[in-house]
Structure 1
Amino acid sequence: MAQHTPSLLLMLLLCTLSANASFQPALVLEMAKILLENYCFPENLVGMQEAIQQAIHSGEILQISDKKTLAAVLTVGVQGALNDPRLTVSYEPNFVPVMPPVLPSLPKDQLIRLVRNSVKMDVLENNVGYLRMDRIIGEETAAKLGSLLRDNIWDKLARTSSLIFDLRYSTAGELSGVPFIISFFADPEPLIHIDTVYDRPLNKTRELWTMPSIIGERYGKKKDVIILTSKRTMGAAEAVAYTLKNLKRAITVGERSAGGSVKVQKIRIAKSEFYITVPVARSVSPITGQSWEVSGVSPTINTVAKEAIAKARSLLAIRSAIPKVVQMALQASKVLLTKWADGLYRSVVDFESLASQLTADLQETSGDHRLHVFHCDVEPESLHEIPKIPTAEEVGYMIDALFKIELLPGNVGYLRFDMMVDIEVVRAIGPQLLKLVWSKIVNTDALIIDMRYNSGGYSTAIPLLCTYFFDAKPLIHLYTVFDRTTDTMTEVMTFPNVRGQRYGSSKDLFILTSHMTGSAAEVFTRAMKDLNRSTVVGEPTIGGSLSSGTYQIRDSVLYASIPNQVVLSAITGKMWSFSGVEPHVIAQANDALSVAQRIIAARLLKKEQGN
């Protein structure tokens, strides 16, 4: 709430007064006195009465004769000064105060009738509970009707699988009932501090906590709860919605609530026919440090009030799939199930947000950033479908598109290719590849293979590519692959024979990497590094997987991309980490080529000096 000085309050009050009117200064003094004694933000009013008294004596207050105009002007002044739209001044010569009935004092049959008119309960399809509460029942009333509420509402609701809590029409109620409702959706321990209420006339502060025991069976904190709100939702109902939302215990659907007050009183100004409506108590949430008063409760999902129940049912249908999806992900990860049980999936409102949450949690719990869950309405095509063998007309275009070669100074070859091609495709285009690419770099004194932009592709041609950089004998064990889908272990070796000329095992070979280098490109780089056949220059690689399978999660529209092959080092026999390949020489990707050239030049110079 914005604070203003008393003189600013006075100026805002007075500057709007007409120069042709008359009124009694005592009215303003009495109004100031009421505010000082009752307004729930007394710190904003320090010195106000003295400032008004001085202004009256100095003759600054002008005259207004029309009493309704005066009331409107005073309302504008006090609201503007204190930035509080709840403060209103009215002229009501025929006002008759109506005291609301003190509910606990009513006969039991009247109480029962009132509760039945304001609380409705039903069980919808798929065991979804529906609770409409148009009035928040206070603590004393709830105690008086305990068995009735327990048998007809709470215990029946407790047996439902999820709940729609309809507060769209709740415009009245008692704040003392809020702790019981919040407790219904919480565990007995630990107790939760849910609100702090300051009452200005009593000058007392009261803390509201959940209750260690309640009448009836608790709903608990695990099952889904969706709260419906509208522009009419006010007062204690806002306290319920605000608290459950910020405890992340419920999802709110509908419209922003009214922004009411904990307690408002209409107070007669002295013996006049003017009244001032004043918020006399204020609420501060210990969860947020703020309040639902004035600003209201903003819904998690915005929709017009009349469509809120349909939106809630649709949302529950989506969320009902979460436990099954979580259970399937990573072979029913206990960590994910625990997160679901603890209500940490409350923010999930559609399949996209569910996929994002699952991806984050799977990566966090496994430490493997390669795990990915995505939403797709149409079954996705396989990421590694059977490769298409190019026609004779397509070969030339394909080679130009995939491979870039250059002869650098010092008879250094440069080969860049941005995708690992399937071995059957390589065999199909072999003759043209040897003629147009390989023959131009095979006789260089050193070779730079640029993998900085190669994010992967097919792994089948990796052993063939490696073979060109080793001698025919002996065959070299490159790495071992464990395939999870078939539970088979395969040692990957160099080939005894290849088409064309080998580069051999003695000439310098450099591989350039970046944070984009991934999957099969990483496996090639890692194998050549492990076998001390190349110098790797650039950035650590992405840490991808040799092969990932795409699996539909049950019969949902969610799919999981899961690495299904493990690569073991030929040197150590240990699994390669998915943290990527660490270069021998760390350099920014943009500088990697020039760094490699400088190293080659230095090595050539050293050889010449040695000779």
Structure 2
Amino acid sequence: MAHTTVPLLLMFFLSTLSSNSSFQPALVLEMAKILLENYCFPENLVGMQEAIQQAINSGEILQISDRKTLATVLTAGVQGALNDPRLTISYEPNFVPVMPPTLSSLPKEQLIRLVKSSVKADILENNVGYLRIDRIIGEETAVKFGSQLMGNIWDNIAHTSSLIFDLRYSTAGELSGVPFIISYFSDPESVIHIDTVYDRPSNSTRELWTIPSIVGERYGKKKDVIILTSRSTTGAAEAVAYALKNLRRATTVGEKSAGGSVKVQKIRIAQSKFYITVPVARSVSPITGQSWEVTGGVVPDAIVLAEEAVDHVHEIAEFHKGLNSLIQGAGDLLEDHYAIHEVALKVSKVLVSKWADGLYRSVVDFESLASQLTADLQETSGDHRLHVFHCEVEPESLHELSKIPTAEEVGYIIDALFKIELLPGNIGYLRFDMMADIEVVKAIGPHLIKSVWSKIINTDALIIDMRYNSGGYSTAIPLLCSYFFDAEPLHHLYSVFDRTTTTMTEVMTIPQVRGQRYGSSKELFILTSHMTGSAAEVFTCTMKDLNRATIVGEPTTGGSLSSRTYQIRDTVLYASIPNQAVFSAITGKMWNLARTSNCNITEQSKDQKGVKKQVYAGKLHI
């Protein structure tokens, strides 16, 4: 970062200095010194002071005579070079610095009035609490205020069933109040590291942790908390919202927050009338490793206009009431239909546990629930085929019987699905991009034999291109495999366990096929890509497993032999669940199609377009 920002900063300073100007080069040098000693990202400024001095000595400078113009130009330059809009330079000849008194030093009566004006509490319908804080008071102030704070504000809402925490108008506050507030929404058993703050002037780092012992009753970590934010939410309030959101303790609703700063200082530049405002401290969350400062802000789980946030809160709260039932419903479907029952049981328990731990608080509607469920199902099971989706209209069944084509349609189907080519050396090339249902194959069989198969049957070797075949029906796999084995003996291809019927079926080659077999002795190559999936994978794995073909290309997609779609409860959510498992005829073990095909690729190709040429150029000996 330093290697790029210093030259940018240097170029800007070159365009703003003049040896004939009434502004001395020392002004810019002093500004650089202030940044070096106070800016919270010192690593971005390495070499800056030396570079500016060299630029001044070189004499390559322009003249700006107006002081306010100079301040504006310098601000644009510094902000652009360091990508930090918080850095500003101002010319203020009448500025009188005033140090505001700390809240804890105010008289108690004045402090009470201040807190009462910045904190509001109420109990809404259905025992929903409402807490609005416009200024985050520090821990010392809160402790001093103690009993009044508890009795007049907190005690009224501590026993509500859920809480709306309104930070839309919170624009000021003290950082020490952040752990104080968050402690009320956690359990006392274990303290939580919620923030790390680096202070540049003192070159020190301070960690913020929740407090094990606090005044009054905790709200705990179980009940719903919904935080409202706006573009005006800044500073300590952002730290509160960011921590509670990423601790999965609260749902955030409203507008993206301001992206302010933990601490800024306005520093006079030498003895001039110029001032530079510098962020002197920075926050790094131990939870995310990132910060809400600068351009980040706190991004709400539900992004709505700040003035409409309360209306959306009620919708989200209502949605959350049925959340547990929906999550349990997804788990129940998995237990009833997923091919591997022990995995289904484990995943179902994890889903319920995550809900109990509040890990679904960021879910605000059916779409976000579908996304979260999909991520959790796939992560816990290791099976990327599991998928939950949101659909307002009931999806058509993916498992309806295929339509038998008419005589007029047969030619179009063959032309669309199959491509053949005779390569030099009497090598056949067959590409087909979908696995058709067995009844369709039987219907188009005579035409398929005549227009496709008969033209490649007498080749000395065959390339089958499955790179663009994403799957289809598995019913024709035994027939397709049978063409590459002799009629006798029959071969056990694979076994299929169907969870819905709890049956295991051995899939064998077929003793009689239409037309001539290719046989078991001629070389066979199957080309694959990351698109090769479902039934195309099963065919490929079978041929590889039985040492009948050499597989060339990319690992396959890891699709499912069979997935069915199930409605979750009576909602607009549906789950696609693989309900069959395929077992190797050789090892008896289940094929792992969850990530990539377990068919070991003989040669991975970086250029899939050249795979066919590579196979042929190698004279079919990979």
| TM-score range for the pair, normalised by the shorter chain length | 0.7 to 0.9
Match of 1:582 among 576, 580, 599: 599
Matched with 2:528 is 514
CA apart distance, 1:454: 1.4
Measured on the aligned residues, the alpha-carbon RMSD in Å equals 5.1
Counterparts of 2:198 and 2:569 in 1: how far apart (Å)? 49
Q: TM-score, normalised by structure 1?
A: 0.73
Counterpart of 2:230 in structure 1: which amino acid?
S
Are the equivalent residues in 2 in contact too, given 1:78–1:87 (CA < 8 A)? no
Q: Is 2:250 aligned against 1:285?
A: no
1:319-362 deviation digits (Å, cap 9, x = unpaired) = 66655454424445344455555565566566545444433333
Q: Is 2:498 aligned against 1:483?
A: yes
Counterpart of 1:285 in structure 2: which amino acid?
S
Change (3 A) 1:224 1:534: same
Counterparts of 1:465 and 1:484 in 2: how far apart (Å)? 25
Are the equivalent residues in 1 in contact too, given 2:238–2:257 (CA < 8 A)? no
Matched with 1:228 is 228
Counterpart of 1:121 in structure 2: which amino acid?
A
Match of 2:92 among 74, 84, 89: 89
Matched with 2:612 is 593
Matched with 1:168 is 168
Counterparts of 1:264 and 1:141 in 2: how far apart (Å)? 22
CA apart distance, 1:463: 1.6
Counterparts of 1:564 and 1:299 in 2: how far apart (Å)? 38
Matched with 2:58 is none
Q: Is 2:183 aligned against 1:183?
A: yes
1:543-574 deviation digits (Å, cap 9, x = unpaired) = 22210112233344333222110111222222
Counterpart of 1:254 in structure 2: which amino acid?
E
Q: Secondary structure at the match of 1:585?
A: coil
Q: Secondary structure at the match of 2:408?
A: helix
Matched with 1:309 is 310
Percent identity between the aligned chains? 58
Matched with 1:53 is none
Q: Is 2:423 aligned against 1:422?
A: no
Are the equivalent residues in 1 in contact too, given 2:264–2:281 (CA < 8 A)? no
Are the equivalent residues in 2 in contact too, given 1:254–1:305 (CA < 8 A)? yes
Q: Is 2:224 aligned against 1:209?
A: no
1:400-419 deviation digits (Å, cap 9, x = unpaired) = 21122334444444332211
1:281-331 deviation digits (Å, cap 9, x = unpaired) = 954324289877777835446544323333444455566665545442444
Q: Secondary structure at the match of 1:399?
A: helix
Are the equivalent residues in 2 in contact too, given 1:128–1:163 (CA < 8 A)? yes
Q: Secondary structure at the match of 2:179?
A: helix
- Superposed, which structure 2 residues align to 1:51-70 within 5 Å? none
Match of 2:411 among 372, 388, 396: 396
- Superposed, which structure 2 residues align to 1:491-506 within 5 Å? 491-498=506-513, 500-503=514-517, 505-506=519-520
Counterparts of 2:242 and 2:452 in 1: how far apart (Å)? 67
Matched with 1:194 is 195
Counterpart of 1:510 in structure 2: which amino acid?
L
Are the equivalent residues in 2 in contact too, given 1:456–1:518 (CA < 8 A)? yes
Counterpart of 2:526 in structure 1: which amino acid?
L
Matched with 1:59 is none
Q: Is 2:393 aligned against 1:378?
A: yes
Matched with 2:130 is 130
Q: Secondary structure at the match of 2:468?
A: coil
Counterpart of 2:167 in structure 1: which amino acid?
L
Counterparts of 1:418 and 1:303 in 2: how far apart (Å)? 45
Are the equivalent residues in 1 in contact too, given 2:537–2:556 (CA < 8 A)? yes
Q: TM-score, normalised by structure 2?
A: 0.72
Change (3 A) 1:132 1:438: same
CA apart distance, 1:432: 2.4
Q: Secondary structure at the match of 2:583?
A: strand
Counterparts of 1:432 and 1:406 in 2: how far apart (Å)? 17
Counterparts of 1:322 and 1:14 in 2: how far apart (Å)? 70
Unmatched tracts of structure 2, length 5 or more:
50-64, 80-86, 336-346
Counterparts of 1:586 and 1:12 in 2: how far apart (Å)? 63
Unmatched tracts of structure 1, length 5 or more:
19-24, 49-63, 604-611
Are the equivalent residues in 1 in contact too, given 2:423–2:429 (CA < 8 A)? yes
Counterparts of 1:591 and 1:365 in 2: how far apart (Å)? 37
CA apart distance, 1:460: 1.0
CA apart distance, 1:442: 3.5
Counterparts of 2:558 and 2:393 in 1: how far apart (Å)? 29
Counterparts of 2:267 and 2:485 in 1: how far apart (Å)? 93
CA apart distance, 1:194: 2.9
Counterparts of 1:548 and 1:152 in 2: how far apart (Å)? 58
Pick which of 188-197 and 178-187 moved more: 188-197
Matched with 1:61 is none
Counterparts of 1:574 and 1:98 in 2: how far apart (Å)? 75
Matched with 2:54 is none
Counterparts of 1:583 and 1:409 in 2: how far apart (Å)? 28
Counterparts of 1:504 and 1:241 in 2: how far apart (Å)? 68
Pick which of 431-440 and 449-458 moved more: 431-440
Counterparts of 1:421 and 1:413 in 2: how far apart (Å)? 21
Are the equivalent residues in 2 in contact too, given 1:167–1:233 (CA < 8 A)? yes
Change (3 A) 1:590 1:81: closer
Counterparts of 1:295 and 1:113 in 2: how far apart (Å)? 34
Counterpart of 2:569 in structure 1: which amino acid?
R
Are the equivalent residues in 1 in contact too, given 2:194–2:243 (CA < 8 A)? no
Matched with 1:558 is 573
Counterpart of 2:574 in structure 1: which amino acid?
Y
Matched with 1:532 is 547
Change (3 A) 1:529 1:280: closer
CA apart distance, 1:482: 0.5
- Superposed, which structure 2 residues align to 1:25-36 within 5 Å? none
Are the equivalent residues in 1 in contact too, given 2:267–2:276 (CA < 8 A)? yes
Are the equivalent residues in 2 in contact too, given 1:162–1:223 (CA < 8 A)? yes
Counterparts of 1:347 and 1:303 in 2: how far apart (Å)? 15
Q: Is 2:352 aligned against 1:333?
A: no
Matched with 1:21 is none
Counterparts of 1:594 and 1:290 in 2: how far apart (Å)? 49
CA apart distance, 1:456: 0.8
Change (3 A) 1:596 1:138: closer
CA apart distance, 1:165: 1.8
Match of 2:561 among 515, 534, 546: 546
Counterparts of 2:359 and 2:478 in 1: how far apart (Å)? 46
Q: Secondary structure at the match of 2:551?
A: strand
Counterpart of 1:89 in structure 2: which amino acid?
E
